[in-house]
Amino acid sequence: MINQKRLVETFINLAKIDSPSKHEEKFRDYCAEKLKKFGATIKLDSYGNLFAYFEGVGEPIMINCHLDTVEPGRGIKPQIEGNKIVSDGTTILSADPKAGIAAIFEALTSLKEDKKQYPKLDIVLTLGEEIGLVGARNLDYAMLRAKKGITFDGEKSVANVMIGGPGYNQINVTVTGKAAHAGVEPEKGISAIQIVSEIITNFKLGRIDDETTANIGFISGGSARNSVPENATFQGEIRSRDKKKLEIHTEHFKDVIKEIQKNYPKAKIELEIVREFDPYAFSNSHPMLKKIETLLKELKLKPHLYASGGGTDVNIFQAHGIDAICVGAGSFNMHTKREYVDIKELTNTAKFCELLIKQAN
C-alpha cells in the first residue's frame, strides 16, 4: 500500500541531493543503490544513463525519468507548508524530476511488501534532459528491453497526459562585421550588433499559431563601448507540433537572413540550424493511451489529454520506436523558485505507478 508519509520523506531526501545538469552523477549513483536494494540489476550505458532491470512475467514495460535539474538547484532546503512541499525560496524545489522518482521508489516499496511477481520492468533514468535531451539522445537502445512505457515529466496531476510534442530546430547565427573607432571613424566600421538587431526585428517571434512558436533566447556581441562591434551572435529556437510548419517557419528565418545580407555585402552572416528532435502525436485509440486512461479511471481520476509545446525524452524515444507517454507527477511552477509539490497529487502519482506495474500486461 502506498504510504504518503514515507513518500514525502523520500521526496525530501531526494530533493536535498544536488543534481544540476552535467553534475547529476552523485544523484544517479544514489538512485542506483536504492534500486539495487529493491532487487534490480543495475547497468550504465557508455553515456552514463542508468538502467535498472527487474525480472518478471510477460512483456517488459519501461518507466522513465530524467536525473538532472535546472539551476538554481544546489543546496535545496525542502519544507512542508500545509499540503505542499516547497523550497526556501532561494532555489527551485527539483520536483522536476524528483517527484516522479520518489513516486517510482514508493511504488517499488509497496510492491515489494506485496511479495508478488510482476511484469519485467526497465527503469531508465537519463542524464541531461534539461539541456537538450542529451541523455535520451545518447541512450544505448540495445540495452532497453521494453517497447512501451511511461515518462514522468509533465506538470501538475498524473492525469495530465501528454499526447503530442513539438519538433525543435536550434538556431545559431554568427555575424562578422568590421571594427572601427566609434568616435573617430565609425563610417569605416560595419556593426555586427546593428545587423543582428535588424535580423531579429524582421523575424516573426513568439506564438506563431496554436502549434508553432519561435524565440531568440541569447544575444552576445561587441568588445568596447567606443568600438564599432565586429562580432555578434545570437541563439534561438523554432518549435512546432506540425513538421511542415516547422520547416516553413525555418525557411522564413533563412529568407530574412538572405535579405539582410543583401544590405551588408561586406559582412558575413552564418546561420546554423540543428534539428534537435521531430514532433510526435499519439492517436486517441493508441493501446498505451487506452491503458493509461483505464488506470486513471480506476483511481477515480479524469484523464486530461493535451499536446505540449515542450520537448521531453519521449520525443527521442518515439524516434527509436519506443511508445512512451509522458504524464504529470504532482509538481507545479517547474523551473522557478516558486516550484512546489502537491502532496495529494504526488500520492496519486505513486498509486498510478504501482497500478501501472501491477496491470502492465
The mean pLDDT of 11-36, rounded to a whole number, is: 98
Closest C-alpha among 64, 97, 102, 70 to residue 343? 102
State whether 8 and 143 are in the same domain.
yes
242 pLDDT more than 90: yes
Domain boundary among 250, 277, 304: 277
Reference 61, options 325, 312, 277; nearest CA is 325
Residues 89-115 as b or e (16 or more Cβ within 10 Å = b): eebbbbbbbbbbbbbbbbbbbbbeeee
DSSP letter for 352, please.
Answer: H
Whether 224 and 288 share a structural domain: no
pLDDT at residue 59, rounded to an integer: 92
State residue 157's pLDDT score. 97
Q: Which of 24, 68, 313, 354 is catalytic?
A: 68
Say if residue 184 is in the same domain as residue 142: no
Q: Which CATH number characterizes residue 289's domain?
A: 3.40.630.10
Active-site hit among 24, 122, 129, 155: 129
Range of the domain at 196: 167-277
Residues 52 and 154 in one domain: yes
Can you give the pLDDT at residue 239? 97
Give the SS3 label for residue 147. coil
d(CA 44, CA 66): 14
Over 90: is that where the pLDDT of 122 sits?
yes
Render pLDDT for 277-309 as a digit per residue (tens, 0 to 9): 999 999 999 999 999 999 999 999 999 999 999
Query: Is pLDDT at 147 greater than 90 in this prediction?
Result: yes
117: pLDDT strictly greater than 90: no
Q: Is 129 a catalytic residue?
A: yes
Query: Is there a single domain that holds both residue 203 and residue 101?
Result: no
Q: Which of 326, 332, 333 is nearest to 305 (CA)?
A: 326
In this structure, the answer to whether residues 270 and 284 fall within a common structural domain is no
- Say if residue 209's pLDDT is above 80: yes
Which of residues 277, 312, 337 is at a domain's end? 277
Q: Are residues 256 and 174 in the same domain?
A: yes
Whole-number average pLDDT of the chain: 96
Residues 299 and 196 in one domain: no
pLDDT tens digits along 181-192: 999 999 999 999
Q: Is 18 labeled as catalytic in the residue annotation?
A: no
pLDDT at residue 237, rounded to an integer: 98
C-alpha span between 240 and 274 (Å, rounded): 14
In CATH, what number is assigned to the domain containing residue 216?
Answer: 3.30.70.360
Structurally, the chain folds into a number of domains equal to: 2
User: What's the burial of 283, exposed, middle or buried (CB within 10 Å: 0-12/13-18/19+)?
Assistant: exposed
Instruction: Please give the full DSSP string across 23-79, using - where no structure is assigned.
Output: --HHHHHHHHHHHHHTT-EEEE-TT--EEEEE--EEEEEEEEEE--B-SS-SS---E
What would the grid cell of residue 60 be? Answer: 517488459
One-letter amino acid of 237: E
Domain end (from 277, 310, 342): 277
Is residue 192 within 8 A of residue 230, CB to CB? The reply is yes
Based on the domain organization, do 145 and 223 belong to the same domain? Answer: no
Q: Is the pLDDT of residue 116 over 90?
A: no
Higher pLDDT, 154 or 49: 49
- For the cut 80, the answer to whether the pLDDT of residue 261 exceeds it is yes
Residue 348 parent element (H or E): helix 343-358
| Statement to judge: residues 83 and 144 lie in one domain | yes
Burial of 184 (0-12, 13-18, 19+ CB in 10 A): exposed
Co-location of 203 and 249 in the same domain = yes
